[in-house]
Amino acid sequence: MPSPVDRRPNPEELLRRVQDTERRERRGRLKVFLGYAPRVGKSFRMFDEGRRRKERGQDVVVGALQSEVTPDIAEILARLDVVPSIRTNHAGRTFEVIDLAALFRRHPQVCLIDGLAYDNPPGSRNPQRWQDVSELLDRGMAVITAVNLQHIREQQDEVERITSRRAANSIPQEFLNDADEIEVVDAPPDALLDRTGHKSMPDPRQLAELRELALLLAADVVDRQLQEYLDSHGVAARWGAQERILVCLTPRSNAEAMLQSGRRNKLRFHGALLAAYVEQPDLRPKDREKLDAHLALARELGAEVHQLQGADFVQAILDFAQEQRITQLFLGHTGRPRRLWFGRNPIDRLIDGAEGFDVRLFPHERLQ
C-alpha cells in the first residue's frame, strides 16, 4: 500500500482545525437517528439505544418525548429516568419545552431528546428545540435525538415536490452535518403502511422517493465527514463512493454533448458535476467567446465551474482531478492523426496519469 500523500495545510487552516478540535473536545457527542417518514421507528431505535447504554452503566436521562408514545416505547421509558418537559399554552397552542434548567442541574451523561424539530413558544430561551440541544452539548452532555427528513430545512423543497406538503417546523441541515454520528432508520414503505394504516401517510411511491432522498442525504453527510476526517489527519482526499464527473472545457470542445452527458451521469449516479478550464494567455477573441459560451452552458446545467492555472494543461487537470476525487473525466479530442498522435500528446499523458478515474473522450464537432 503506498503511503498517503502528505498535504500541508496553511496556518489559518491549522488554527481553524485546532479551534474546531478544542470545541469538539469540550462538547458532548451528538447522535441523530434519521427517518424518511413518520413511524419508520426512529424514536424506538433512539430510546432502545438509551436503554442499552443505561444497561451498560451510563447515566441516561430522557429530556423530551413526542406527544404520542407507542406501547413499545412506553415499555422502555418505564426503565429510564425522565426529566419531564414543561407544558405551556401560547395563543391557543400547547407547547412542550425541554426543562433546560432541570437538565443542567441533573447533568446526565446522555440526554435522549425526541422531536428534535419542535418549535418553542415565543419568549422561550431559544426559539427552537435544536438550539436547546446545542446548549446541552455545549455543557458537555451527550445527546441522542431523532428527526424526520421533512423537518430538514434544505430538503423541504424536495419533500414538498414529492408529497405536496411542507412541515412548518424545521432544523438547519448544518446541525445534522455537524453531528458526530447519524444513523439511518430504514424500512420498506409497505411495512410502514402495514404498521399504521394512517390516512395522512404519503402513498407507496411517495414513500419510496422520500426513502431514496433520506438515504442519499445520509450518504452525503457520511461522505463529507469522511473527507473531513481524512483532511484533519493529513491524508489526501481519496476516491470515494460518490461518482464525481469533471468536464474539461476548451474553446474547441464539443461542450454541449460533454456537458449534457455529464449532467445525465450526475443525475443517474446522484453524483457531482464539475467543469474546469485551464486559463490560457493570448486566447484569440473568437476562442474566448466560444469558451465563455461553454462556461455559461456549464453553469446553466448546474456544473460547478472552476478556473485552473498552470503552464502545463495536463498537470493542472490531473492535480485538480486528484484533489476533487474525480471518478470520470470528460475530455474533447480532434481525432486528427499525426499532429495529435505524434509522440506523447496531451491526451495520452492525461490517460497515463489518470489514477483512479476513467477518461471519456468526446470527438470535437467536425470543422465545416
Partner 1 sequence: MTPAAKGRLKIYLGYAAGVGKTFRMLEEAQEIKQKGVDLVIGYFEPHGRKETIAKTEGFEIIPRRILSYAGSDFEEMDTDAILKRKPAIALVDEFAHTNVPGSERVKRWQDVHVLQEAGIDVVTTMNVQHLESLNDQVFHATGIRVRETVPDWVVDEADELVFVDLTPRALRNRLDRGVVYGPEKARHAMENFFTETNLTALREMALRHTAHEVEEKLGTTGDDAASPSAGAQTVPPPTGRSDRILICLTGRPSSAILIRRGKRVADYLHADCLAIHVGENTFDREAVERHMSFARNLRIETHVIEGRDVARLLTDFARTQRITQIFMGRSLPRPWWKRFRESIPQQVVRQARDMQITIVAERRR
Residue 126 within binding range of partner 1, rule CB under 8 A: no
Q: Which of 78, 241, 311, 367 binds partner 1 (CB under 8 A)?
A: 241
The count of C-alpha atoms lying within 13 angstroms of the C-alpha of 116, restricted to the half-sphere facing its C-beta, is 33
* In the complex, minimum distance from the CB of residue 264 to partner 1, in angstroms, rounded to a whole number: 5
Residue 182 within binding range of partner 1, rule CB under 8 A: yes
**For residues 136 and 185, which CB has a smaller minimum distance to partner 1 in the complex?**
185
Q: Which of 22, 75, 138, 181 binds partner 1 (CB under 8 A)?
A: 181
Pick the stretch among 81-89, 113-121, 129-137, 214-222 that binds partner 1 (CB under 8 A): 214-222
Residue 175 within binding range of partner 1, rule CB under 8 A: no
Q: Which of 99, 178, 183, 287 binds partner 1 (CB under 8 A)?
A: 183
- Calpha distance 357→99 (Å, rounded): 53
* In the complex, minimum distance from the CB of residue 254 to partner 1, in angstroms, rounded to a whole number: 10
Q: Which of 77, 102, 193, 351 binds partner 1 (CB under 8 A)?
A: 351
Q: Which of 64, 185, 246, 255 binds partner 1 (CB under 8 A)?
A: 185
Residue 104 within binding range of partner 1, rule CB under 8 A: no
Buried b (16+ CB within 10 A) or exposed e, 34-70: bbbbbbbbbbbbbbebbbebbeeeeebbbbbbeeeee
- Calpha distance 301→260 (Å, rounded): 8
Orientation of helix 156-163 relative to helix 204-232, angle to 10°: 160
Residue 219 within binding range of partner 1, rule CB under 8 A: yes
* In the complex, minimum distance from the CB of residue 343 to partner 1, in angstroms, rounded to a whole number: 7
**For residues 310 and 353, which CB has a smaller minimum distance to partner 1 in the complex?**
353
For partner 1, what does the binding mask look like between residues 135 and 164, x meaning CB under 8 A? ----------------------xx--xx--
Answer yes or no: are the C-beta atoms of 316 and 308 closer than 8 Å.
yes
Question: Which residues are CB-neighbours of 219 under 8 A, at least 6 positions away?
Answer: 241, 242, 270
Pick the stretch among 110-118, 119-127, 175-183, 287-295 that binds partner 1 (CB under 8 A): 175-183
Place of cell 436521562: 61
Residue 122 within binding range of partner 1, rule CB under 8 A: no
* In the complex, minimum distance from the CB of residue 257 to partner 1, in angstroms, rounded to a whole number: 8
* In the complex, minimum distance from the CB of residue 270 to partner 1, in angstroms, rounded to a whole number: 6
Measured over all CA atoms, what is the biggest interatomic distance in the chain, rounded to whole angstroms? 82
Place of cell 490531473: 318
**For residues 162 and 317, which CB has a smaller minimum distance to partner 1 in the complex?**
162
| Subset of 27-66 contacting partner 1 (CB under 8 A) | 31
Answer yes or no: are the C-beta atoms of 80 and 110 closer than 8 Å.
no
Q: Which three cell numbers stand for residue 329?
A: 473525466
3-state secondary structure 71-121: HHHHHHHCCCEECCCEEEEECCEEEEECCHHHHHHHCCCEEEECCCCCECC
Size of the site for partner 1 (CB under 8 A): 73
- Calpha distance 292→279 (Å, rounded): 12
Pick the stretch among 82-90, 95-103, 259-267, 309-317 that binds partner 1 (CB under 8 A): 259-267
Closest by CA to 64, choosing from 170, 162, 149, 136, is 136
**For residues 190 and 279, which CB has a smaller minimum distance to partner 1 in the complex?**
190
**For residues 65 and 210, which CB has a smaller minimum distance to partner 1 in the complex?**
210
Residue 264 within binding range of partner 1, rule CB under 8 A: yes
- Calpha distance 208→153 (Å, rounded): 20
Residue 229 within binding range of partner 1, rule CB under 8 A: yes
**For residues 169 and 227, which CB has a smaller minimum distance to partner 1 in the complex?**
227
- Calpha distance 155→140 (Å, rounded): 29
